[in-house]
Structure 1
Amino acid sequence: MHDIQREIIDALHVKENINPDREVREIIDFLKNYKYHHDFIESFVLGISGGQDSTLLGKLAQMAVEELREEGHTIHFYGVRLPYGTQLDMNDVDDAIAYINPDFDVTINIKNAVDASVKALNNASFHISDFVIGNEKARERMKAQYAIAADRKGVVLGSDHAAEALTGFYTKFGDGAADVMPLTGLNKRQGQQILKYLNCPEHLYLKVPTADLESDRPLLSDEDALQVSYKDIDDFLEGKTVPVAAFNRIIHLYKVSQHKRDKPYHRYLKPKYMEE
């Protein structure tokens, strides 16, 4: 194994193998302990996209709040649908919500807010490309979740995991912004293992992953966008040998996305690579 591969695996806290039962217990206990230490919390809030990651975290969050209520705590889970207009894979969102069975099923359509923002920027002579509009969608979704959390004394959960952290495949201050990231350390196939263990409908965890942010390229797969497969990403994170081209692509993505994993830079905090 290359030194940089080991360094990345350690930094992202990835295990070579997982026990789904143990992971479920650890994540639920993690969420419960967060509530124990923050008395103000009365809700967990999460956007539900119909994809693997939010389906997994939504299920675990609902399980956590049900255990907390059995212990006498007042807390609820809000599963939030956040379509931009009409979502092409809305049937998957419906199925994910049915599987999770959240305390509250909320829909906030972000189209008017995003379009107004883009119009204002264009009127100010900024050219906002379809790709950048995708980032606007992600940030508007997170903004809506924080508004819900503020109103319901809650915190926002984030579904980012090791495979996304490795590649930087998330929007900075969009889906990359949250109060709590319970799926840290898991890769894609490990998330699938846990959903299978939790009796999730197979089509939800075998669904082709897509961020679906670009209107010009609807439902563009993550793998097409990243130019590397999740199999190779997961193998890399589990310390296995991957093809040279995939290895080089993964290392490139990791390096160019380092700024997303850094804390905001200020005068008294310098990342190690800037200390020279």
Structure 2
Amino acid sequence: MKERELKEYLDYLVGWIKEEVIKANQKGVVVGISGGIDSAVVAALAIKAFPNNYSVVWMPCESSELDLKCKNDLLESLSIKNCLEVNLLETFSCLKNELNNNVEGISKLALANSKARLRMTTLYSIAQSKNSLVLGTDNACEWHIGYFTKFGDGGVDLVPLLYLLKRDVRLAAKLLNIPDSIINREPTASLWENQTDESEIGFSYDLIDDYLSGLKVDNNVKERIDFLHKISEHKRNLAKKPQTIKDILKNNIFK
């Protein structure tokens, strides 16, 4: 996407977030930050939409030193003075022990996804207390292939980045003053030590971007993306979606 078009779309998203919060008879927004680029961009949009009524939440749970550094870089860059911290390590450890002791064959991925669900439980507790909506951080690539946890990071009220490719998110991060330490880090859901998104998916976000943009990719990549999209259909349609970039630009809403 061109920079001018993206600037216009980001302005639309800020207005859309405001409108949806008002329609829901709420007062503000809550967003969890992870040290990653997607949550950083959503946090920046949240602050623009509700500069006096947003909650940014850091929820460490076996988080890395890089996660912590990037979180601190974001707080400084966006001048976030009040970041709520809810440490979930002890809670997760108790849950993991109970599951390991009582559920035969509990998988590594199931345990890791429990982190995402604990974080979303935390965000909704805060949101309900503050009369706010929870903002999701999934982008177009993740949403299309189902690379999110059902009722975890996928269980939100609004998904602002739903129509932004990963390369669009990177550009948006630059436009929104997100630190280079976050923009340039290798994407990871921090599910376990040294885990990365692209190693788990099997190929780069650039290839998913190309495919979703209508560009030619290897047939094995196309087949894999189509397969992931098909088997993850049950995860989608859980959150309200904004208008597409194409529709916004076509309707000349900014003219």
| Alignment correspondent of 1:230 | 205
Match of 2:37 among 39, 42, 52: 52
- Within 5 Å, give how 1:132-151 maps onto structure 2: 132-151=110-129
More displaced stretch, 131-140 vs 98-107? 98-107
Displacement of 1:85: 4.1
Change in 2 beyond 3 A, CA 1:97/1:219 = farther
Structure 1 Cα separation of the partners of residues 103 and 222 of structure 2: 40
Structure 2 Cα separation of the partners of residues 208 and 23 of structure 1: 25
Structure 2 Cα separation of the partners of residues 259 and 91 of structure 1: 35
Structure 2 Cα separation of the partners of residues 122 and 176 of structure 1: 25
Which protein has the larger Cα radius of gyration, Structure 1 or Structure 2?
A: 1
Whether 1:260 aligns to 2:235 is yes
Structure 1 Cα separation of the partners of residues 59 and 153 of structure 2: 12
Match of 1:64 among 24, 49, 58: 49
Whether 1:30 aligns to 2:16 is yes
Q: Secondary structure at the match of 1:113?
A: helix
Identity between Structure 1 and Structure 2 (%): 32
Contact 2:21 2:133 survives alignment (8 Å): no
Whether 1:161 aligns to 2:161 is no
| Alignment correspondent of 2:216 | 241
Displacement of 1:149: 0.8
Deviations 1:199-258 (A, max 9, x none): 3222312221000112xxx13111100002101000111111112221121112111212
Where does the alignment leave 5 or more consecutive residues of structure 1 unmatched?
Answer: 1-15, 67-74, 264-276
Structure 2 Cα separation of the partners of residues 25 and 38 of structure 1: 20
Whether 1:77 aligns to 2:80 is no
TM-score for the superposition, normalised by structure 1: 0.80
Contact 1:159 1:183 survives alignment (8 Å): yes
Contact 1:48 1:97 survives alignment (8 Å): no
Structure 2 Cα separation of the partners of residues 123 and 207 of structure 1: 36
Contact 2:63 2:190 survives alignment (8 Å): no
Aligned pair count reads 237
Whether 1:87 aligns to 2:49 is no
Structure 2 Cα separation of the partners of residues 152 and 167 of structure 1: 33
TM-score for the superposition, normalised by structure 2: 0.87
More displaced stretch, 175-184 vs 91-100? 91-100
| Alignment correspondent of 2:7 | 21
Displacement of 1:153: 1.4
Whether 1:43 aligns to 2:20 is no
Structure 2 Cα separation of the partners of residues 190 and 30 of structure 1: 18
Q: Secondary structure at the match of 1:46?
A: strand
Q: Secondary structure at the match of 1:44?
A: strand
Contact 2:77 2:177 survives alignment (8 Å): no
Change in 2 beyond 3 A, CA 1:172/1:250 = same
Contact 2:35 2:182 survives alignment (8 Å): yes
Match of 1:192 among 163, 166, 170: 170
Contact 2:18 2:49 survives alignment (8 Å): yes
Structure 1 Cα separation of the partners of residues 73 and 103 of structure 2: 42
Structure 2 Cα separation of the partners of residues 225 and 144 of structure 1: 26
Give the letter for the 2:174 counterpart. Answer: K
Displacement of 1:103: 5.8
Change in 2 beyond 3 A, CA 1:79/1:131 = same
